[in-house]
Amino acid sequence: MNLASTDDFDLDDYLRRQSSTVDQALEIYLRKYPGAQQTIFRAMRYGVFPGGKRIRPILTLASGELFGAPANRLLPFACGVELIHAYSLIHDDLPALDDDDLRRGEPAAHKVFGQGMALLAGDGLLTEAFQLMSDKDATQGVKPELVLALIHELAHAAGVMGLVGGQALDLEAEGKEADLATVEVIHVRKTGALILAAIRIGARLGGATEIELARITRYGEFLGLAFQIADDILDARAETAASQQGETGHKEQKKATYPLVVGIVQARERLGELLQLSLFELEPFGARSLPLAAIARHVAERALSTQA
């Protein structure tokens, strides 16, 4: 099946339904604490609700469903991925890092709760993600050895070889002249690692074979890099409409980005190439992979459709 066009697939409806499923699960998981009116719990919830389109946990669901995993098996892990993403956004917005006052058009967590409480809220969400993924009730029906392997995979993606390491490299590159190889390493780790883990976790929960996992891994690698390049382009073009803005904040002038290194035109060319590569990896899965194909097209085309 040719996945070059996904016009017959209603992505907006799919994202709404899956996002609602994720939100309901997050509500259940975060509702359980006594003393939930304490500031730390309110700050954690503020970082999670309302969320964006929940692309990362939806990728876990879509990848898992591609291989036949039921939603109840996928949700604890999908929500774990989203909690880590939420923590990273709280920390990214802090003055010591990206220094953003707004997140999705609302005051950033540190502007509402103060820097100390925002820092702790991020820490709380990070550790809560792994508590959730190791909870015997939430992960009932998943083999313990697989649970351990998935926790290891997500920890790797979130740690110094992934998200944290990418953020550190990004911080060190700020205000300096960077080459394309450096930019790609930053993007692959800071943004791509968590996206890749989200996809692989779903596939492994669905029982993907080694060959299938290798293919879906390549899809995730291409998509992760495409996601950040698209954000770079949108930030460079100051596309701040709610439907198209990048996730990385708007104080990107000193950051190592694709448009800064190679220009908008070449950045778009690379983005288009990554889209085609990601779609190619899905071809053997046929119609079952339409959600993943549509998400890839959405990620790329939000930047490819902007005017030069």
For residue 185, CA distances in Å to 9, 47, 293, 306 come to: 33, 27, 24, 25
| Residue from 169, 208, 160 nearest 63 by CA | 208
The predicted pLDDT at position 105 comes to 87
Could you give the CA distance from residue 27 to residue 195 in angstroms, rounded to a whole number?
Answer: 22
CATH no. for 11-304: 1.10.600.10
* Residue given tokens 């492994």 in the structure block: 204
**Helices 193-205 & 71-92 angle (0-180, nearest 10):** 170
Is pLDDT at 94 greater than 80 in this prediction?
yes
| Cβ atoms within 10 Å of 250's Cβ, excluding its own | 15
The predicted pLDDT at position 98 comes to 87
What mean pLDDT do residues 240-253 have? 48
More confident residue, 261 or 36: 261
Buried b (16+ CB within 10 A) or exposed e, 17-35: ebbebbbebbeebbeeeee
**Which residues, in sequence order, are bridge partners of residue 107?**
102
The predicted pLDDT at position 255 comes to 77
Buried b (16+ CB within 10 A) or exposed e, 44-65: bbbbbeebbbbbbbbbbbbbbb
What mean pLDDT do residues 101-130 have? 95
Q: Which of 38-42, 51-55, 97-101, 240-244 has the lowest mean pLDDT?
A: 240-244
* Residue given tokens 């995730």 in the structure block: 220
The predicted pLDDT at position 240 comes to 42
Could you give the CA distance from residue 275 to residue 29 in angstroms, rounded to a whole number?
Answer: 34
Is pLDDT at 216 greater than 60 in this prediction?
yes
What mean pLDDT do residues 127-149 have? 94
Could you give the CA distance from residue 10 to residue 50 in angstroms, rounded to a whole number?
Answer: 23
Lookup: tokens for 197: 């883990």
pTM (predicted TM-score): 0.92
Is pLDDT at 91 greater than 50 in this prediction?
yes
Could you give the CA distance from residue 222 to residue 296 in angstroms, rounded to a whole number?
Answer: 9
What mean pLDDT do residues 262-268 have? 93
Is pLDDT at 161 greater than 90 in this prediction?
yes
Is pLDDT at 51 greater than 90 in this prediction?
no
Q: How confident is the model at residue 34 (pLDDT cuts 50, 70, 90)?
A: low
More confident residue, 53 or 4: 53
Q: How confident is the model at residue 187 (pLDDT cuts 50, 70, 90)?
A: very high
Q: Mean pLDDT over all residues of the chain?
A: 90
CA angle, residues 232, 6, 17, in degrees to nearest 5: 80
Q: Which of 36-40, 146-150, 294-298 has the lowest mean pLDDT?
A: 36-40
Amino acid in the structure at residue 66: L
What mean pLDDT do residues 111-135 have? 96
Contacts of 96 (CB under 8 A, 6+ apart): none
CB 58 within 8 A of CB 167: no
